[in-house]
C-alpha cells in the first residue's frame, strides 16, 4: 500500500505562510484525493479540504477558504498545502490522508503529520 510521507516541522511567525508537502511513497495517488486534516494541541481532528492531484480539483472547508491553497505535482506524486496569514491558533499538527472524494469515503492511509508552530 502507498505510504504518505510529509515534510518536517515548521516554525513560523504570525502573518507568514507555510507550505507542507505530502509525498506518496511506493506508488502514486492514482485517482484518489488527498485530504488535509489538522489537530491543534490537545484537540480533535479538523477537516480542511482536499485536492484530486490527477485533475487538480479542490474543495476547501468554509473557514479556511480565504487563506488556504492546495496544489499537487503529479510528476513527483506530491501534494502541497499552503496556509497564509498564520496566527497562533493555527499551531497544530497537519496531516494528509488519501480518500476517494465521495461523501461516504473514509481517510486511509494517513501521513505521519507535520507540526506547524506559530509564535512571535
Partner 1 sequence: QSVLTQPPSVSGAPGQRVTISCTGSSSDIGAGYDVHWYQQLPGTAPKVLIYGNSNRPSGVPDRFSASKSGTSASLAITGLQAEDEADYYCQAYDSSLSAWLFGAGTKLTVL
State the Cα–Cα distance between residues 79 and 68, nearest whole angstrom.
13
Among 61, 68, 115, 117, which residue sits at the site for partner 1 (rule: CB under 8 A)? Answer: 61
Q: Pick out residues in 25-44 that bind partner 1 (CB under 8 A).
A: 35, 37, 44
Binding status of residue 110 toward partner 1 by CB under 8 A: yes
- Complex with partner 1: residue 1 or 120, whichever CB lies closer: 1
User: Distance between alpha carbon 118 and the CA centroid of its chain, in Å?
Assistant: 17
3-state secondary structure of 64: helix
CB neighbour list of residue 8: distance below 8 Å, 6 or more residues apart: 114
Contact positions vs partner 1 (CB under 8 A): 35, 37, 44-47, 59, 61-63, 95, 103-113
Amino acid at each position: 500500500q502507498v505510504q504518505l510521507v510529509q515534510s518536517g516541522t515548521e516554525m513560523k511567525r504570525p502573518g507568514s505562510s507555510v507550505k507542507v508537502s505530502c509525498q506518496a511513497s511506493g506508488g502514486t495517488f492514482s485517482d484518489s484525493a488527498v485530504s488535509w486534516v489538522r489537530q491543534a494541541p490537545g484537540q480533535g481532528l479538523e477537516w480542511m479540504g482536499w485536492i484530486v492531484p490527477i485533475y487538480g480539483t479542490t474543495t476547501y472547508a468554509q473557514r479556511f477558504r480565504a487563506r488556504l491553497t492546495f496544489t499537487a505535482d503529479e510528476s513527483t506524486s506530491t501534494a502541497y498545502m499552503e496556509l497564509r496569514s498564520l496566527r497562533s491558533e493555527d499551531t497544530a499538527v497537519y496531516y494528509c490522508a488519501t480518500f476517494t472524494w465521495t461523501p461516504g469515503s473514509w481517510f486511509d492511509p494517513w501521513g505521519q503529520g507535520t507540526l506547524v508552530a506559530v509564535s512571535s
